[in-house]
Structure formats: structure tokens, C-alpha cells
Structure 1
Amino acid sequence: ERKIDKIHIPTNCLDVLAQQIYGICITEKMHVSELLSMIRQSYCFNSLSNEDFYSVISYLSGEHVALEDRHVYAKIWYDTETGMVGRKGKLARVIYMTNIGTIPDSTGVTVKVGPEVIGMIDEAFLERLKRGDIFVLGGSTYEFLFSRGTVAQVRAAVGRRPTVPSWFSEMLPLSFDLANEIGRFRKLIREKFEAKMSRKDVIDFIHSHLYVDENAANAIYEYLREQYDFALVPTDREIIIEHYLDEEKKYAVFHTMFGRRVNDCLSRAVAFVVSKTQKRDVEIGVTDNGFYIAAKKNIPAARALSLLESKRFDELLNLALDKTQVLNRRFRHCAGRSLMILRTYKGHKKRVGKQQVSSMILMAAVKRISKDFPILKEARREVLEDLMDIESTKRIIRMIENNSIAVKSIDTTIPSPFAFNLVLQGHLDMIRMEDRIEFLKRMHKLVLAKISLEQGKKGTDEDTKKVYAEIWKELEPDTEYESTKTRLIRQAWNLKRVPMFAKKEIVRMLEGERTGIRKDVIEAMHHYKADIEKNWPRDLRLAVFKAVKEVEAGEAV
């Protein structure tokens, strides 16, 4: 059909603008009107407003004296009478050449329980966390408390189910355009189900529409048919809100096939409305196909969605993002690009952790100056336009407002096929791979049983609910074993005079891996056996030496 996804080119990036103005001023003195005219010749800045341009000039010329207390000094001079700008300081060229670039410094984040190190997580994963979130690290669950610099403080959450799924940093989000096409395809298939077309005719249509083989066409048919028989198939013109209750909390699953960037916007906005109107924190989960809000009490999901207004959506999301990890981290990136934080100065390189701490102090300082300080404004723009997709989200909200998109609510006793992966994505991280396959098979049978029940066959709704709870109970990990394993891993991360690469291999062995362990680490275990016997905790050394023997036995075979 010759459809190509739209590309997103960031425009009016004020941190990059600050960097470019500084570079131009180092090269030559120039009148501000001439400078603005030259900058607007770039596609990325062709719609740059006078207000944003002069706010960056004010920042670079050091008009905000309060920032000097935070060691942010003027980089250019600006004569308001003549309108000329030029470089300031003898080290201007050196500072510029050693700090330019748009790719931010990144690093792993150390996870600690008190003073003890228990592992590392990706910085992009930290952006998704908020206080109280439960996540899996090294096969054990932890509750996120707060972060400082590149250290995240957590506490053990043994026996509690994760609220945040494992992180796949390389996975690209589903685009808004492609998501809409999938929604339209769902609508076509749903219409064929409603017209009671035969299985063969529907599969033939899938073949002709998607150009897939027999197996793929059959899988798509079964997946959509089970969702249709179980509940409703959401489309690009109909959002389904599925209310589902498990043993611990109540879920409102939003089947919004609009892509992860739009769903991220919608989920934060809906969660913010619910938390403010209900005066309680809620849990969020986001995927390409939808999102969920979870809490211990009833969630007025449809009402919260109806309260969103396209005209005031920017304002609402700015409030929702305030004090979040994602805004804090993005502000550091923007402060680095705009030379507010110098990554290198006089040959000394500032570590990422120190940059983050500096950015937090600076963020508090610029908020006191103005909520629309150019670098803070840019951090918000980067989150809302680059990381998320606020324009497409506002388009969806406008369509809901004028009834172009319908919203329906349903209640289920077990998650529908479409909701299953969304609700249970974090929970599945706690199940071993063999058990996970078995669990999925049994859950599939349970869905089919529920469909049979709906169609008037034997069984009761309470039976399916009871079986669902029993399946979870059987497969949940042994908490006593998990707490022992957690303690040993924590002790391994905190071993003194042991290189980081060796700690990683030791942790892998404690997690049950017996292949691909570095030989030099195994050899070092034997070489330093006397020191290990003397200095390591008893349970840890016994577990590690047992694992070493198993690794060697496996290699011998």
C-alpha cells in the first residue's frame, strides 16, 4: 500500500542551540538579528521563536546571577545597546572543543540495599522507576526507594510480585502509524467475525492482506478469535478498558493500540488524574499494545480518561512529569549539551555520578529562577516529544472528545488474551523458563474453558477464577530459597579486593549458570583458596566452591 512510517525530527532544541550560538560567538562577533536569521535557515530551527532565542542568549551571557553560586558562568557577552554578541573568557575555545557533542555520557547504575551493593541496572531502566516500584534483579525482587547520582537505593521485597517488567533497552517502540494500521486490521477481522464468516474465509483474507504463511495466518486467526469469543476485540476506533481483579489488587487494562510512545503519555496522564482524584498512588505498566493502572481499590478508569482535555494536556503532563526520574535524567543530558555542566575542564573529566548530582542541584536553582528556564524547558520537550509522542496523544484525545473513538468498559475474572501479556509481564520474570511454558499452556486452557463457559457449556465462573489462583500459587518461587540466594548474591557484590569481572562471574554461578564461566576466574578460586577460606562469609564460600566443582565437572564431560 506504499505506506511509510512518519519520521520524527526534533525541532527547536534549546540545548543544541546554546552550543551552536557559543561556537559561532567564538568564531566571530555578530549582531543578534543576523545570528537569529542564520540559525533560522536550518530546518531544525526554522520556527524558532524570538522568546526562546533571547532566553538562550540571556542564559549564555550570564544574566542569571544566581547560577554563579552553582559555578555556571557567562560564556558570551551581549551588548543590549548595539545588539552585538561575542565570546567571553580566554578558555572559550578549549571549553567548547572538549565539551561539544549531543550524545550524553551514560553509565550503569549501582543498586544498593543500605551500604551493600547487590547489582547494576541500565540508566534507561532507572528512568522508568518511581518510589515503591518492585523489580527483578538477579532473580530476586526489590522495592525502589530513591536514587542519588548513579546509585539507586532499594530494599528487599521477598515474595512480592514485580510491578515493572524486565528491561529490553534495544527494543524499538512500535510506531504510531504502524499501531494504527494494526488497529484497522483488527477492525476488519472483527467485522468478519461479526458477519459469521467461516474460518477458511477469514484465514484466506489474512493471507491476502498480510502476505504471511499458513502457520502465521492460523496463529493470528486463533489469537484474534479467542479475544473475540472471550471479550471484545479493540480497534483503532474503539478503546476497551478491561477491569480485572486478582488476589492483591485491581487492574484497569487500557487496550490502546497506539504504540508505546503514545501509551506512555496516556498512562502517565490517566495515572496522575487517578492519583489526584483518589488521593492514592497507583501502579503503571506500559507496552506497545496498551497500558494498565493498578491499585488496591476500585479505579474510575473511564472517568479519568474522560477528564483529559486536549487543550490543557501539555499542562497536565508537565505536572505529571515533575519530580520524576525521567525528567531528572534528561535534564542532566540537556545541561551537558548546553555546557551548563562541563564534562571536561582543564583536563579533568567529571564522572557521570557527579554530573547527575550537579544537575539535581542546578535543576532546583533554575526552577527558582523560572519554570520556563530554557534548559529545563528543553528537558521537558525532550521527554514529551522525543521519548514520548505528545502530539499524537493529543490527536487521540481530540478524537475521544468528538466521539470519533469510542470507549467501552468490560469486567473479567481472568485476563483476556490481549491483556494477559500486559498484566503479567512482570510476574513472569519470577518464573523459571520451563515453568513459564507450562504456565502459558495452562493459562491458555483456562481461557478456552472460560470461552466454553460463555457459550453455555459445563463449569462455573468461580471454577476458572479458583483454578487461576491455584496455578499462580503452584508456580510462585520458594520465598525461603529466594531470600537465601538474595543474601549470597548481595555478599558476592560486596566482596573486597575482588575485581568487578570476577564478581559478575561469581553472581552468574550463584544464579545457577554452569556454562560460559571464565576459566581465569575458576583458576583464581583455586589459587586464592586460602584467602577465600579466611575472609569470605561461610555460606558464600561453600556455595561458590560447590558451583566451581559443578562447572569443572560439566567441562570435563
Structure 2
Amino acid sequence: NLLEPIQGIKKVAKELGYELPEIRIAVRTSDTSPIEKQRMVRNPPHILITTPESLSIILVAPRFRERLRNVKWIVVDEIHEIASSKRGSHLTVSIERLEYLVGKPLIRIGLSATIAPLSEVALFLVGYNDDGSPRPCKIIDARFTKLIDIRVICPVEDLIHTSAEEVNEAIYRVLVDLIKKHRTTLVFTNTRSATERVVYKLRKIFEKEGILDADKVEAHHSSLSRDVRLEVEEKLKRGELKVVVSSTSLELGIDIGWIDLVVLLSSPKSVSRLLQRVGRSGHHIREISKGRIIVVDRDDLVECTVLAKAALERKIDRIRIPKNPLDVLAQHIVGMALEKKWHVKEAYQLIKRSYTFHTLKWEDFIDVVRYLAGRYGDVLEASNVYAKIWFDEEEGVFGRRRGARMIYYLNTGTIPDEAKIRVFTVEGRYVGDLEEEFAQILAPGDIFVLGGRTYEYVYGDINRIYVKRVEGVRPTVPSWFSEMLPLAFDSALEVGKFRRIVYELMKEKPRDEVIRWLIKEYNLESHAAEAIYNYFMEQVLYTNSPPPSDKLLLVELWDEGETFNIIFHALYGRRTINALSR
């Protein structure tokens, strides 16, 4: 994304008679080799591309830290994705620490195509002055300048009475037809296991029907090795692939070249994610981003219908920024202790400059400092939790203890740990990762899919398994476990509102008129509109009540003799339902 523009600038400058100096670009992540890291220390880049976790590490790396003293700009790409999680909380304090190191204000730039509310995210980026006033920030709103074309496709005439196998076959018929009509198609699923299934199925269809070379279909997700992912990305940029199937790994940031169609298999679970995914097609500002959503059942049809219309109306989900996460605070106090001896009031002042911790209470801050200093040792040492810093309460100063640096390096960041087992061919080539629970059920001779290709399990040890490539053999193990995407709160409210409005229309108007309204307002196929009407009517007749909506919960009760069951049907998104269920 940077090399080509820089080369273009140098070319134009040379034509005008100017010889520009070399502009060095480097990437530092967990995948960066020690040799590359050493090279960056000896010859620092002008532009460093990194992650929040790597930034927190280089801030305390003695040699690299010194190279950061002349930083002038910091750009946070896809800021909506960062701000809504503890990764963003972690980053805001890292930026404040970086600005403290530099000794003067940094110019901060945040980028996102799908973000709301703008003013709050802008404040998240810039933070506060020591007097409590927000730092100044200029907002440039260009979110809605790009044209989009989004349609919902219902693969069969009757979603109710058609068997699951027939629906599945129809989905692939629609998908293959779309692929044949476009130059390069990017297909999104919601899980890694679904990505593997779709790639495997498409390869089989293309081979059987002779439509195209099966090698022009590839998978891309986070469990594949870095080398495999990069190879797929390069092929995509060069136009060598017809189809790439991904879960979430191609949603953000990566330059993936020319895509003229994005297909979503099932609901993306939020308007923002829908816009982000569809925006991967027609990537140029003057091109139309084209997306098609293929639904898999009646609930999916309702959800996708609502999200597609909301996306066209640019009703972006509001993000919710975490406030005062003490686990993140603890990490930064240890990190700051590695830099120098800090007075607690100075450290508290620095941390409160960040948006996330601006409302942090002194009592909570000092409790975390005491915890890290081992003041609760009698309780914690029994669980092998020991002091990470020393703290002189009389002087009000804290600093690092021996061994704290390694603890910090190994534990910084907020991405949840996933137990992964590395997969190698018997020849020693790294293929990717499997989740531990899945790897544990494998037995010699089992066939599974990884990267859209089939492998036979040969043997394994504690943290890796060995496989051999097999062709034309059906998998004997269906899939591995993956976390489904949660339905966003604002999107869930839109779905609930839709159910309420349609039900009210059903009470007032004849069937044909409601169906025509659905076709016109939501740009639906006639059989899709009929399926929605029939679904709601069946639910009303069965429960003898209105369907659950944004203003109504449906409570279902039934007695099984030894067990009495209560189910709350509520449309508020998974995070809300999880909270209520506790």
C-alpha cells in the first residue's frame, strides 16, 4: 500500500528535476524475525508499520526505544476495530507513553470507512490535556462518498419445506454462477471451519464440472501459516485467482488488489462489518462496491434483509469503547517501570491523558500499583503470583523488579490466548494451526481440511502434529471449533424494529400488499418476501402473540416432567443476551 505511492512520488519528482532521498519502510509484528528486528535498530525505517502489541514492546526495548525519540506522526488505521476493544485501551496509553518519550505533541491520524460516533472516536484518538480539556481534533467525514450495490439472494423458492441438503446445493449453484460472471470474487464466511468447507466444496465442483482450475480457489484465514497467507495475497494482487474464501482475515487493512464482487455466506452480524466486507470490492473511490448476501435459513433471511437496507442507508453500528480496564492498566504500569523510576502522581497524570483512562480514580490506580508491588502477597503468593515492581509509598516512587522485563514481553497485549497446535507436513513444511480441542480428537488416518486442501493425520506430539497431503479423499473429520460472530446491538435493534413494523402491517393490510411493500422497500426477490411473510405469520399463529421485537420479549415455557424450561426470545445482540443470562 505504501511502496507503489512512494515510487510514484519519486518518479514524478525525478521528472520535475528533483532527486528524492530513499524512504525506508519496515514492518514489525510478532512474525518479524530477529534478524529483521536487528536490521531496523541499525538502520531505522522512516515509516514503521506495527501492531499495538509490538508498539508496547518496542517502547521498552532499550535500543529500539531510542530510535522512537524523533517520531512526528502516528496513524491508526481501521480505528473503529481498535477502539471497540481492550486493544484500543492498550494502544491509547502506548501512544501517551510514546508522546512522553518524544517530548512534544504527536500528530495523530485515525482512519476508518465505517465508524460511529465520529466525535467520540476522535476523542479516543487524541485524548486530553492535563487540565482535563479535550485536545483539538479536525474531523473529515468522507464515509458516504462511495457508491455501493448490495442485494440479498434467497437460494430456493421455499426455505421452509426445502430440505437442508437441497438448500445447501442451491447455495453452491448460486455461488458458482456468481463466480463465473465475475473476474475475481471474494467470499466471506463467519468461521474458519466454514471457510475450509466452502473452499473444499468449490474445488470439488470446479474439478467435476471442468469450470476452471481448482488451484484458482484459495482459503485465507488466521490459522494458516504466514507464508501461505502471503502467497494467497500475492496471487490475488497479481490477478491469478478466481476465488478467495475468507473468514475475517481479509476484512481489514490488507491490500488485496482487484476484486469486482464480494459474496457473504450468511449474515455478517453487523452493518459496519457488512460495509467493511463489501467495500473490499471496487476498491477505487470512483468504483461501485458490489456485494451479494446469500442466506441460509429464514432467520438469516430476515437479518440479512434488514442489514442490507441499513447498510445502503449508512446506519453504522455505534462502537462502545471500554473504560478503565484495570488489567490493561496493570500491563502499562509494569511497562512504565521498565523505562525508569516513576513518581506515582506523574504516572497517574500521564495515564489519565488517554481517553480510556481519563475517568480513572486515584484509589483504583494506587490499588493496582500496590497489587503489582506485592502488597497482597499473603493471598497471591499461594497462587504463585509475585510482585512485578517495587513501590516506595513514602517517596511515592515505583520501578521495576528483576525479571519483570521478560514477564512483560511474554504477556503484553489483550488478544485472548488460543491454544493452537502447529501443523507440519512429514517433509517439515509448516502448513498452519489447529485448535487444541480439535487436534486432540485426531487419530492416525483421519482426513481433515486445512487451507482448502485435504491432509491425513500421521502422528503428533505435545505441540505439533504431522500430516501428509492427500487428494480426492473425503474428510473423515468434519470441521474444527470456531467462535461465531456476535450480532451487534444496534443491528439487533434494527432487526427487532423490522419484525414489529411488518407485524403491524400484517394486521392492517392484506397479504399481497405487505409482500409488495417488502419487495419495494427492501429490494427483495418475490419468493424471499413471501418467505418472510409466511415465517412471521406461522410464528404469530403458533404462539398466539406478536413476534419478539425491539419492544417485546417472547417468553417460552414448557414442562418436561423433571425439568421446567424457560426460554427468552430477545433481539438485543449476543453481548446483551450474555449479560442477561448471567
TM category (shorter chain) comes to 0.3 to 0.5
TM-score normalised by L of structure 2: 0.34
Alignment TM-score, normalising by the size of structure 1: 0.36
Q: Which has the higher helix share?
A: 1
